[in-house]
């Protein structure tokens, strides 16, 4: 059996594994988004995303509120995702091409990819985003 680790150095294999996982995550998110939202065109490739960011979650913004400089975004009919104003908590908001997006451009109906922990089984479910990409 051909094994990629036998051919590539460990560092290269690790980079390749991260790339494969990232592509699989995007394919999964795109397929879920395409089946749950009609006429949605999500075509993006993300690079240089640290491994600790995990897979992104696709959300459509229902409502927005501000709280002490943080943006509190209600998504999925009730879950609340906090987009922190602190860059040590939430990376700068960007487009899929890496262009910076001002927080004021996030409106009701905005389509977002957000990296955050799994939503806990509480009501309302709440999490804090570590990265946000506006589609």
CA atoms within 13 A on the CB side of 68: 3
Residue 31: what pLDDT? 47
Overall pTM > 0.85: no
Per-residue pLDDT tens over the stretch 25-40: 555 554 444 444 444 4
Alpha helices in the chain (DSSP H): 4-7, 10-36
Of 121, 38, 30, 37, residue with least CA distance to 78: 121
Question: How many C-beta neighbours within 10 Å does residue 73 have?
Answer: 23
Which has the higher per-residue pLDDT, 21 or 123? 123
Does pLDDT of 130 surpass 60? Answer: yes
Tell me what the mean pLDDT of segment 12-30 comes to. 57
Residue 5: what pLDDT? 42
- Output the average pLDDT for the chain: 74
- Specify the DSSP class assigned to residue 38: T
């Amino acid at each position: 059996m051909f094994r990629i680790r036998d051919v590539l150095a460990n560092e290269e294999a690790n980079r390749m594994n991260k790339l494969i996982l990232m592509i699989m995550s995007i394919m999964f998110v795109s397929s879920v988004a395409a089946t749950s939202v009609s006429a949605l065109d999500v075509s993006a490739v993300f690079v240089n995303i640290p491994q600790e960011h995990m897979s992104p979650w696709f959300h459509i913004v229902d409502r927005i509120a501000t709280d002490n400089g943080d943006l509190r975004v209600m998504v999925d009919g009730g879950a609340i995702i906090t987009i922190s104003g602190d860059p040590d908590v939430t990376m700068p908001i960007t487009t899929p091409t890496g262009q910076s997006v001002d927080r004021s451009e996030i409106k009701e109906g905005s389509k977002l990819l957000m990296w955050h922990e799994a939503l806990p089984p509480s009501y309302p479910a709440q999490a804090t985003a570590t990265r946000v990409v506006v589609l």
